Structure 1
Amino acid sequence: MIPYGRQEISQADIDAVTEVLQSDFLTQGPKTPLFEQLIAHKVSAKHALAVNSATSALHIACLVLGVGKGDWLWTTPITFVASANCGLYCGAKVDFVDIDPRTYNLSPTALEQKLITAERDGKLPKVLVAVHLCGQPCDMEAIHKLSQRYGFKIIEDASHAIGGQYKGQYIGSGHYSDITVFSFHPVKIITTAEGGMAVTNNDQLAEKMNLYRSHGITREPHLMTHEPDGPWYYQQIELGYNYRMTELQSALGISQMERLDQYVARRHELANRYDQLLQNLPLTLPWQHPDSYSGRHLYVIRLTLDRLKKTHREIFEALRAEGIGVNLHYIPVHTQPHYQQMGFKRGDYPEAERYYQEAMSLPVFSAMTEQQQDKVVHVLKGILQV
């Protein structure tokens, strides 16, 4: 099976993890601060905080932005459920904004229309989670302008997008948002096995996220309610969580970071090659906005079903049967049973639902060979009968 995505682990990665296993620190040691510094420097952000998953990063990002009971968090329906669940974790209500039909990201036009109505009804969002689907950044300039007008905070869910750029700046620079979140899951661009990162330029937000990721505990005297009892002393000053990243994960991340630009460049080569090999087929190929340099985490095609003899499901299953590990990113969140219990229903976000009926993620990963890619294309053409 050629998977839709997979990690690439080098001997250098293995050696880096082995070194930590033989060291004095497995959990909290020097590797995690170093990994954070590398990420912050790469994206030109002031602070980076490593956590055990991007989901945890989204959660603490919402907490430090004050999301709570009675608030609204908005995001796109075409994302993994974590982008919406983070609002529910905080007791907030969640709503969605339909996607742009070309980029598949949250539509600034639909956002503006929804904000006009929400302002009239007194239901403006406290936070918007802008998801950079497939690694292509949202139209952050337009979204930021709307945030200035309507007063909401912005989290960039860049789980797909580390190493990508928007208007010449690395995603994560914070020019158009309050906090950016990265994922290091094995199918992502670089991996720490599981793991995530929250980056920000705001000192206060960084300090609070640092508390929330580690039980709400501090050893910093300036944060305590009184002078420390001694060098052993700590205080819990918030209700926090055990969201820390281990030294093993950080060591792997440090090693992988050396190849980040190489990985993104290779994904671009593969995507460009797909563009050439799949042209003139009854497909819509991924469109790239000229302001963006995508991380190219996913290569999503859309089937032109009225020109095909097979259904979406038949084509998907036929590819899987031939050893092509296609996937579908994502099932619209508002159609999930948990969200339908909240009152969402099919038909609420028509562009997202049209996307779901036609979309398919083809294999793309940094170690993919041209022979593997040729097989994907050959099998797909055979199934489409072209």
Structure 2
Amino acid sequence: MIRYGQQDITQSDIDAVIGVMKSINLTQGPSIPQFEKSVVEYTGAKHALAVNSATSALHIACLALELGQGDWLWTTPNTFVASANCALYCGASVDFVDIDPRTYNLCPLKLEAKLVEAARENRLPKIVVPVHLCGQPCDMQAIFALSQKYGFKIIEDASHAIGGAYQGEPIGNCQFSDITVFSFHPVKIITTAEGGMALTNDDDLATRLGLLRSHGITRDPDLMTQPMDGPWYYQQVALGFNYRMTDMQAALGVSQMTRLTQYVAQRHEIAARYNELLADFPLTLPWQHPDSYSAYHLYVIRLQLDKTRATHLQVFEALRAREIMVNLHYIPVHTQPYYQKMGFRVGLFPESEKYYAEAISIPMYPTMSEDEQRQVINALREALDV
């Protein structure tokens, strides 16, 4: 069986986790700030706050930016539901902006057109969440320029994108956003089993994020609103959550970070082989913007259905039958039953829906061998009858 993605756990990773398990700090120990420091040093962001999932990071990012009832968050339909759900957790409303047909990311031109209309209707978004699908960054400079004109905040959902770059600078440096979010799920670029991180260059946002991830509790006298009773004292100064990462997870993250550059380079090698060996297939292969260096979390092919007798479902099932465990990223969020109850319907975002009708994520992970890649290509050849 060849999975579409999988983690790479080495002996050094195992040793790092066992080291924590033998220590007195299973959680809230020294590995968490060490992991945060390693990501800060890699990305160039000023602050990094580790949490238990990227979903949690998105939630507290919205809260730190004071998203609430009566506000709007806009994101892309072509994402995992968490990119939109984070607004609903805050009591806000959600809308979507269709994708660019080449990058599959949120389209700045469609965003601008929607902003012009929203300004007339007095329903501009408070937050826009561009999603770096497959690891390729959105056109952040264009989105940032629109934020300056229309007054919205930006959360980069970079769950797929640690290790990538935009305009030669690391994704996560928050040059064009208020907060950036990473995911460390097992199929992502690096893993902490489950886990996420929020990055920012804003000191006040970092303080809010830190409070929100841990019950709103602080031991910092500068953040307290009443005098301290003694050295045991803490205060809850906000309503927060238990979104903390454990020291075991963080130790795994520290170890994985040492191989981040290597992992992304290996993904690029695999993508280059796919690009070469699939060039004559009736497929649309991933297009890479010259301003970007993708982290290549996913390698998504799109079937040219007018050039093959097989349907989307038939190709998908044929690959699975050959134990090529392909997947589909993503079902457009606005077509989900929960969102259709809010009034969304099929037909509203045609580019995302067309992508969904053609897309298949084929296997891509750093330890994938050339033989495994040939198996994928041969299975595709058979499924497409080419």
CA distance in 2, matches of 1:34, 1:385: 51
One-letter amino acid of the counterpart of residue 62, structure 1: C
Per the alignment, residue 299 of structure 2 pairs with: 299
Asked if residue 24 in structure 1 is aligned to residue 62 in structure 2, the reply is no
Deviation at 1:227, TM superposition (A): 2.0
Per the alignment, residue 199 of structure 2 pairs with: 199
CA distance in 2, matches of 1:330, 1:160: 13
Deviation at 1:226, TM superposition (A): 1.9
CA distance in 2, matches of 1:195, 1:256: 13
CA distance in 1, matches of 2:273, 2:231: 59
One-letter amino acid of the counterpart of residue 294, structure 1: S
Asked if residue 236 in structure 1 is aligned to residue 236 in structure 2, the reply is yes
Secondary structure of the 2:130 match is strand
Per the alignment, residue 180 of structure 2 pairs with: 180
CA distance in 1, matches of 2:19, 2:246: 14
- Cα RMSD (Å) of the superposition? 0.4
Mapping for residues 85-234 of structure 1, pairs under 5 Å: 85-234=85-234
CA distance in 2, matches of 1:227, 1:34: 31
Per the alignment, residue 378 of structure 2 pairs with: 378
Deviation at 1:112, TM superposition (A): 0.3
Per the alignment, residue 356 of structure 2 pairs with: 356
TM-score by length of 1: 1.00
Residue-by-residue CA offset, 1:31-90 (whole Å, 9 max, x unaligned): 000100100111000000000000000000000101000000000000000000000000
Residue-by-residue CA offset, 1:80-123 (whole Å, 9 max, x unaligned): 00000000000000000000000000000000000000000011
Per the alignment, residue 255 of structure 2 pairs with: 255
CA distance in 2, matches of 1:227, 1:219: 12
CA distance in 1, matches of 2:155, 2:288: 22
Per the alignment, residue 339 of structure 2 pairs with: 339
CA distance in 1, matches of 2:32, 2:173: 20
Deviation at 1:321, TM superposition (A): 0.5
Per the alignment, residue 3 of structure 1 pairs with: 3
CA distance in 1, matches of 2:135, 2:269: 15
Per the alignment, residue 53 of structure 1 pairs with: 53
Secondary structure of the 1:187 match is coil
Per the alignment, residue 314 of structure 1 pairs with: 314
CA distance in 1, matches of 2:34, 2:280: 48
One-letter amino acid of the counterpart of residue 32, structure 1: I
One-letter amino acid of the counterpart of residue 258, structure 1: T
Per the alignment, residue 369 of structure 1 pairs with: 369
Figure out how many residues of one structure are paired with residues of the other and give that number: 386
One-letter amino acid of the counterpart of residue 143, structure 1: I
CA distance in 1, matches of 2:72, 2:275: 39
Deviation at 1:273, TM superposition (A): 0.5
Mapping for residues 72-91 of structure 1, pairs under 5 Å: 72-91=72-91
Secondary structure of the 2:275 match is helix
CA distance in 2, matches of 1:214, 1:119: 37
One-letter amino acid of the counterpart of residue 26, structure 2: L
Residue-by-residue CA offset, 1:131-168 (whole Å, 9 max, x unaligned): 00000000000000000000000000000000000001
Residue-by-residue CA offset, 1:339-372 (whole Å, 9 max, x unaligned): 0000000000000000000000000001100100
CA distance in 2, matches of 1:229, 1:30: 27
CA distance in 1, matches of 2:338, 2:366: 35
Deviation at 1:382, TM superposition (A): 1.1
Deviation at 1:225, TM superposition (A): 1.3
CA distance in 2, matches of 1:66, 1:92: 10
CA distance in 2, matches of 1:153, 1:64: 11
Residue-by-residue CA offset, 1:197-255 (whole Å, 9 max, x unaligned): 00000000000000000000000001111221111000001110000000000000000
One-letter amino acid of the counterpart of residue 61, structure 1: A
CA distance in 1, matches of 2:366, 2:227: 52
CA distance in 1, matches of 2:261, 2:270: 14
One-letter amino acid of the counterpart of residue 29, structure 2: G
Which runs of structure 1 show a deviation greater than 3 angstroms over 4 or more consecutive aligned residues? none
CA distance in 2, matches of 1:353, 1:28: 43
One-letter amino acid of the counterpart of residue 206, structure 2: A
- Consecutive unaligned residues of structure 2, counting only runs of 5 or more, are none
One-letter amino acid of the counterpart of residue 125, structure 1: P
Deviation at 1:310, TM superposition (A): 1.1
Per the alignment, residue 274 of structure 1 pairs with: 274
One-letter amino acid of the counterpart of residue 71, structure 2: D
- Consecutive unaligned residues of structure 1, counting only runs of 5 or more, are none
CA distance in 2, matches of 1:225, 1:61: 23
Secondary structure of the 2:87 match is helix
Deviation at 1:383, TM superposition (A): 1.2
Residue-by-residue CA offset, 1:261-316 (whole Å, 9 max, x unaligned): 00000000000100000001100000000000000000000000011111100110
